[in-house]
Chain A
């Protein structure tokens, strides 16, 4: 999404083999995006319209539709070229490269785009991934062509008496590729239709498991999902998707899109420090990154972790117990509880202020990468805390922030 514009990208272009095509018009009739057209000679695919949904592939009687060539994204085969062909162009060196589908297919769907833009607005500018981040795969599965996952686990994370109902859900993709990185999200399409009879839009959830799977070396991901029973203003509201996901049973199947997200990614180089600030289910990407580091502890790659984590009570803090078991030398944990009876309300920004010296040192450390995920309200408080810490040291947050962004060191996702 934020790739520099001055380099060439190789993408797969969808084409129709004129030698196999029998001009039956089934593809043109089938295509939901109206990407296919024809003249007296050939049927062709509009590169900038084709969403790669694959709806045309299986209805094609001849197999002509299942044709692909790698091209440079800026110079796909034009309609005029395609109309003129007697045969597909011969394959070139480019075709040996792995490439994603180009054209409209490469764009993030609007419903996935809108929340992520709002979610990252608080960052205060365009983001770049850390320089050592792994390259993410995005948009492999669209709403028109989702992947079917099977639920292999669903456990309540919050205590039985806690007011919030947060679930840890594991989705298995079997043998269908679904490569992810820590910090990415997936979309889930709830079954059925809304009150207008339209299919439900997808909902985005952060991945809570590391790249090699919740269960190591399995093609699965974990999610952290809170059952929505009230809206932002506290009025009763039954969240369609969250209730669907929280009620899933082992063996159920789920329609999944994505993965999404190309910047909220962890650094991979040894010695990189990670500062994680989150509330509630905003802990999902933090758990993914922590788990990645935990599994690699024996490699002694260095790189400290610091976590600021807020919840109403310990019973409502997802992953509270596993966190307690992590060695102090591995991760510096700071938990803030705002609703423990008999104790003053404490928020993550209070703890950040309390740890001002270390936080300031990390803000200045080029090896430190900062991640914020959780409710919008937290974000304002945390940014204020950063500003205060800077001011008290005679520094200016508003100057520091662009530097952090330019270096791919500040990542914000709030909702």
Chain B
């Protein structure tokens, strides 16, 4: 069970380690100050129907009730220990997992945790003004649920830094609260987390696509030989699922609404649809192209010696490592990657160890593809002849082998001049963004939804759709 009687709820026997407890209790006011400064704008007085973990078993981690967000019980929860877990990949395969990080891996390990941890407060910062334009109480509640859980993920990473990395870890913990998304002087570490999330379409695309990067990074870290990190990430994954649901169903409901209006007006003319106050499907495709390409960069370079080292040392595994049928050392294995040579896209085989970033990106691509296929059932149901397609993985990339190349979403290489001529057909233009932005106005009556989005098929926790998911005081 989680001990809620302590200042910091936890299932890690925090009171048994006074030094650590004191350090985290000193960090706690800084966190609350950060939440106050950078958390959801003007929301501190709302009662929000939130899910709070009261224990880490299936029965306990989905407890629903009204909570004021500053009173949310952020805490430290690790998935249950699996007893005598063994390292199951890399050069140390078969050895017992580590409860502390071996000295030679400390700085690498710390960097991985800081990079992951930095994305959590970053996304809260990116989304902090969205509450002012929520299309419904249901969506507002979902936004806040995502926000408090990203806050909890920050706690999870800070705990690891404090518990296992001494003074360096504590300093990193402070720095996590000091960087700011989009700040010119002290930005967040990863580029995608310095982009704006200016509207709800961007938010849904972000949670569908970019939180899915989070899913795959966490899944790879959940394989780690460093047991506290593995258990932390395993529990975070159960929360991450909710965020992807918010994104996937959010976009699906926008598609649904657009298709309804297309049917009613018997038109697929974007201008007419925009005039009717819904987002035309080609614009949705542009947003998909943008978020997909920006997120693709988060996996890093296709060929990476760092990734190989992380794997060999047991720091970061592959997605669902134990379901893969090989030697889990990858000495002699190869992996096919795409590259650009002589103005053509070519496939080349590289040592599997060095291609682990690409492999994780490919796992993510398959997962995104499956979600997009589910979106496509909606136009199909309406008899609308439009299908969404994730762009080619080399499209609009800034990192890796495609960084300098110009390519259409279909994967056709082109000159810079051609790109300049066409890219506004593929990525949201300023006019597109202004149009979407203009649609954003709050709709906060229980059961009412903004015109551009359909209601969900089901409410949260079996509550009706018209339930008062947020109460304003």
Contact = CB atoms under 8 A, between A and B. Distances in A.
Interface string A19-35: 11011111001101000
B248 A22 contact: yes
A66 B460 CA distance: 12
B415 interface: no
A283 to B, nearest CB: 36
Interface in A309-358: none
B462 A66 contact: yes
A63 B244 contact: no
A125 interface: no
B412 interface: no
Contacts of A20: 249, 457-458
Contact of B249 (A25, A26, A29, A62): A62
B81 to A, nearest CB: 12
Contacts of A271: none
Given A58-B62, A86-B377, A26 B458 contact: no
A55 B56 CA distance: 12
Given A19-B457, A86-B377, A63 B462 contact: yes
A22 B245 contact: yes
B461 interface: yes
B59 interface: yes
Contacts, number: 56
Contacts of B238: 26, 29-30, 59
Contact of B370 (A23, A30, A58): A23
A26 B219 CA distance: 12
B242 A61 contact: yes
A40 interface: yes
A133 interface: no
A235 B373 CA distance: 68
Nearest to A87: B377
Contacts of A30: 58, 238
A86 B377 CA distance: 9
Interface in B254-287: none
Given A22-B371, A26-B238, A58 B461 contact: yes
A contact face: mostly helix, strand, loop, or mixed: loop
Interface string A52-68: 00011011011100100
Contact of B59 (A26, A29, A55, A61): A55
Contact of A58 (B59, B374, B459): B59
A24 B377 CA distance: 18
Tier of interface size on chain B: 20 to 34
A198 B461 CA distance: 31
* Range class of the A interface residue count: 20 to 34
Contacts of B237: 26, 29
A62 B58 contact: no
B350 interface: no
B165 interface: no
Contacts of B34: none
B58 A59 contact: yes
Contacts of A59: 58, 61-62, 238, 241
Interface in B58-80: 58-59, 61-62
Contacts of B371: 22-23
Nearest to A62: B245
Interface string B360-402: 0000000100110010010000000000000000000000000
Interface in A253-290: none
Interface in A1-57: 19-20, 22-26, 29-30, 32, 40, 55-56
Contacts of A19: 377, 457
Interface string B221-245: 0000000000000000110111011
Contacts of A56: 58
B241 A26 contact: yes
A61 B239 CA distance: 9
A20 B377 CA distance: 12
A23 B241 CA distance: 9
A287 B374 CA distance: 59
A30 B240 CA distance: 14
Q: Which of A26, A32, A86 gathers the greatest number of chain B CB atoms within 10 Å?
A: A26
A24 B241 contact: yes
Nearest to B59: A55
Nearest to A61: B245
A413 B1 CA distance: 38
Contacts of A24: 215, 240-241, 244-245
Interface in A381-411: none
Contacts of A86: 377
Nearest to A18: B374
Contacts of A63: 457-459, 462
Contacts of B457: 19-20, 63
Nearest to B320: A25
A22 B457 CA distance: 13
A63 B249 CA distance: 12
A244 B248 CA distance: 49
Contacts of A62: 245, 249, 458
Contacts of A23: 367, 370-371
A25 B237 CA distance: 10
A56 B246 CA distance: 18
A22 B461 contact: no
Nearest to A55: B58
Interface string A68-101: 0000000000000000001000000000000000
Residue of B58, B62, B238 ringed by the most chain A CB atoms within 10 A: B58
Given A32-B58, A55-B59, A59-B58, 5 more contacts: A20-B249, A24-B240, A26-B241, A59-B61, A61-B246
Q: Which 8 A-B pairs have the closest CB atoms?
A: A24-B241, A61-B245, A58-B62, A55-B58, A63-B458, A61-B242, A26-B241, A30-B58
12 contacts: A22-B241, A22-B249, A25-B241, A26-B238, A29-B237, A29-B238, A58-B58, A59-B62, A63-B458, A63-B459, A63-B462, A66-B462
Interface of A: 19-20, 22-26, 29-30, 32, 40, 55-56, 58-59, 61-63, 66, 86
